[in-house]
């Protein structure tokens, strides 16, 4: 039997676009390239749906509950790590929804320095500090009214079973 070649597998991430009074909730995070701005975002973990992952990541990075209500878009982005030169592609599911209770007692995720609310103008002015070009692209798509129902994303029950074995 012939061995299969290594398959390309993009890293699956989730992100949230959260607007309040014309400002967007971002996180400032410490990266190998210095302090960068990002939408609350992170990786999909084994055994969770993209919707659940987004709610978890917002809580971990901002200390706020978040209930995704719509899919803004699905994005591909290619990135080269500064330190290692690794060529990585991200497949990002971006949601919008309702920001809930702030849990001020919670520590923010490792690497997250603070949360910040920014206007669209401030986002444009800080583009050189964005973690990726998707930070602004996702906000612009949100502002253009791009929304899809959450029902477009189906997570089969098999994903939620047997996580400990992974």
Count the domains in the chain: 1
Question: What is the model's pTM?
Answer: 0.90
DSSP string, the chain: -PPPPPPP-PEEEEEEE-EETTEEEEEEEEETTEEEEE-SEEEPPTT--HHHHHHHHHHHHHSEEEEEEEEEEEEEEEEE-TTT--EEEEEEEEEEEEEEEE-TTSPPPTTEEEEEEE-HHHHHHTGGGBSSTHHHHHHHHHHTT--B-GGG----HHHHS-GGG-
Q: Is residue 166 part of a domain?
A: no
Q: Is residue 1 part of a domain?
A: no
- Of 145 and 88, the one with more pLDDT: 145
Q: Is residue 6 part of a domain?
A: no
Give the pLDDT confidence score for residue 166 in this predicted structure.
47
Here the CATH number for the domain that contains residue 88 is: 3.90.79.10
Tens digit of each residue's pLDDT (9 = 90 or more) over 40-69: 999 999 999 999 999 999 999 999 999 999
Q: Is residue 145 part of a domain?
A: yes
Domain hosting 102: range is: 11-149
- In the predicted model, what is the mean pLDDT of the chain? 92
């Amino acid at each position: 039997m012939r061995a299969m070649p290594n398959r390309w597998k993009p890293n699956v991430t989730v992100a949230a676009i959260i607007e309040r009074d014309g400002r967007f909730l971002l996180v400032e995070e410490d990266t190998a390239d210095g302090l960068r701005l990002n939408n609350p975002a992170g990786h999909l973990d084994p055994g969770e749906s993209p919707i659940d992952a987004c709610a978890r990541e917002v809580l971990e990075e901002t200390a706020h509950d978040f209930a995704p209500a719509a899919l803004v878009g699905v994005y591909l982005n290619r990135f080269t790590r500064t330190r290692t030169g690794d060529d990585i592609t991200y497949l990002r599911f971006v949601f919008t929804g309702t920001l809930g209770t702030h849990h001020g007692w919670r520590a923010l995720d490792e690497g997250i320095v603070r949360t910040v609310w920014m206007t669209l103008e401030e986002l444009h002015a800080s583009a050189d500090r964005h973690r990726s070009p998707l930070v602004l692209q996702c906000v612009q798509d949100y502002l253009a009214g791009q929304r899809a129902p959450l029902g477009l994303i189906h997570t089969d029950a098999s994903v939620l079973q047997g996580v400990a074995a992974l």
